[in-house]
Chains A and B, each alone.
Chain A
Amino acid sequence: DGGITQSPKYLFRKEGQNVTLSCEQNLNHDAMYWYRQDPGQGLRLIYYSQIVNDFQKGDIAEGYSVSREKKESFPLTVTSAQKNPTAFYLCASSNYNEQFFGPGTRLTVL
């Protein structure tokens, strides 16, 4: 089955620690995206990549970093510089006509 996987589904970390969220797709899509979702709010774009080895900042990139070394993978690192990292994180990939979303990772910083 083609699709997007995100792992883990739930993640707990202590304040001040960096944490990396995984996103893998086997849809052969060039473009991939990371969004943050907070209660009562829509999706806010963190980073996106339209091709391997290239990525752009979205609207709320501060405190986050990404890499795109392979077409299938787009990991997101939440650094200690992110002031309020507790949120639901969604990864998506796109064939430029629509975006396909993963199941999400819920990050809780204690």
Chain B
Amino acid sequence: AQSVTQLDSQVPVFEEAPVELRCNYSSSVSVYLFWYVQYPNQGLQLLLKYLSGSTLVKGINGFEAEFNKSQTSFHLRKPSVHISDTAEYFCAVHNTNAGKSTFGDGTTLTVKP
């Protein structure tokens, strides 16, 4: 069994400030890790993914995440946010053996002017 916990349901931040969205996971097998973004009434769009290799992963729109195996975390960061980053963000783990993913409950990022 696997699970994903997004530690903050809502994160308000001012424009041009840094932000971190936290994600912890548990799994008994090796997994792939993902962050997705969802704008209102739309599907999910991939921000970045960790499959193997370097633990620091860079994605689109200036986002990056660091895989920490000992702490089973995959936190998402951006050094300077923009109004357009306001959206829902989902962390997910993919079990390659079972062929399915588990998603966190999401974090609502609100960027204020």
Once the chains bind, are A90 and B44 in contact (CB under 8 Å)?
yes
User: Across the two chains, which residue of chain A brings its CB closest to B51?
Assistant: A97
A68-110 with Cβ < 8 A to chain B: 88, 90, 92, 96-104, 106
With A48-B99, A97-B32 in contact, is A43–B90 under 8 Å at CB?
yes
- Choice from A31, A44, A97, A98 contacting B99 with Cβ under 8 Å: A31
With A42-B103, A42-B106 in contact, is A98–B34 under 8 Å at CB?
yes
Once the chains bind, are B101 and A104 in contact (CB under 8 Å)?
no
With A40-B105, A41-B106, A42-B106 in contact, is A101–B43 under 8 Å at CB?
yes
With A40-B105, A41-B105, A97-B32 in contact, is A104–B100 under 8 Å at CB?
no
Once the chains bind, are B106 and A90 in contact (CB under 8 Å)?
no
Q: Which residues of A contact B106 (CB under 8 A)?
A: 40-42
In the complex, whether A64 has a CB less than 8 A from a CB of chain B is no
Q: Which residues of A contact B32 (CB under 8 A)?
A: 97-98
Size class of A's contact patch?
Answer: 20 to 34
Could you tell me the distance between the alpha carbons of A35 and B38 in the complex, rounded to whole angstroms? 14
In the complex, whether A50 has a CB less than 8 A from a CB of chain B is yes
Q: Which residues of A contact B100 (CB under 8 A)?
A: 33, 45, 48, 58
Least Cβ–Cβ distance between A37 and chain B, in angstroms = 9
Once the chains bind, are A42 and B104 in contact (CB under 8 Å)?
yes
Least Cβ–Cβ distance between A61 and chain B, in angstroms = 12
Least Cβ–Cβ distance between A10 and chain B, in angstroms = 9
In the complex, whether B41 has a CB less than 8 A from a CB of chain A is yes
With A42-B90, A43-B90 in contact, is A102–B105 under 8 Å at CB?
no
Closest 7 CB pairs of A and B: A101-B43, A42-B103, A43-B103, A42-B105, A101-B44, A103-B43, A50-B99
